[in-house]
Amino acid sequence: MAEMNANRKDFHEWMVTKALAAHLGEKGKEDPQRMAWLFELEASTPQGVFKLRDLCGFDWAAGETFGGAEESFKEADRGKLSSAEFGKYLAIAPDFRYWTKERNKQLIVEAKGTPKPIGRRDDVQVERYFMYLQDSGNKGAVIYFVPNPKVWLAWLANIPKPNGLPFGVVDLRAQIVPKVANELLHVVGEALVQTADLLKEALQFSKTT
């Protein structure tokens, strides 16, 4: 069993995020129970285990909480930042982002499929999330959904950040994948169909060369 686990490959993170987005429901038509489940997920932090709603400071409530998958920052998220300073954040879109009606509290979620961070690329990404919450004056939390929580949490703890800014990691395999298994089957199935179609097209080209 240990050998099988060592050789097991993780799902690509885009597959899990797409499955999770489908599980939670379309924007504006979210499933209330599933959204409540999301905010109840338990994240490991240097101080212990806390629910996401306690880390970010708000809970899901229809008409009071907004956001979803691939939500880029908009002018309304600027907070205390000047328009010029805010410009560097406009192209950033976390895997999931939620905010209160007043937009003064935010939950930023990034999902990763690798067992550990990939160099400077991941460093820059999370530094921008931390800097945004610090410079905008908004409260909230930065959370990572990852397959290797201990390694990712140690990395997050070493990234420069404002004192007291909540952050943590959720075990992708234990808490997310089992919940979105049905949606994940559809995502993987679609990927296989697309791959098969591309293979057929490639074979057709190979016969003409």
Predicted TM-score (pTM) of this structure:
0.86
- Mean pLDDT is lowest, of 14-18, 156-160, 165-169, for 14-18
CB 136 within 8 A of CB 79: yes
Q: Give the DSSP letter of residue 173.
A: I
In sequence order, the 6+-apart residues with CB closer than 8 A to the CB of 24 are: 30, 31, 34, 35, 38, 68, 69
Q: Is pLDDT of 115 > 80?
A: yes
In sequence order, the 6+-apart residues with CB closer than 8 A to the CB of 192 are: none
Q: Give the DSSP letter of residue 162.
A: -
CB 126 within 8 A of CB 97: no
What pLDDT band is residue 27 in, cutting at 50, 70 and 90?
confident
- pLDDT, one tens digit per residue, over 83-94 is 999 998 988 899
In sequence order, the 6+-apart residues with CB closer than 8 A to the CB of 11 are: 113, 177, 184, 188
Q: Is pLDDT of 198 > 70?
A: no
Beta strands in the chain (DSSP E): 42-45, 48-51, 65-69, 96-100, 105-111, 139-146, 167-171
Query: In terms of Cα–Cα distance, which of 162, 175, 196, 153 is closest to 51?
Result: 175
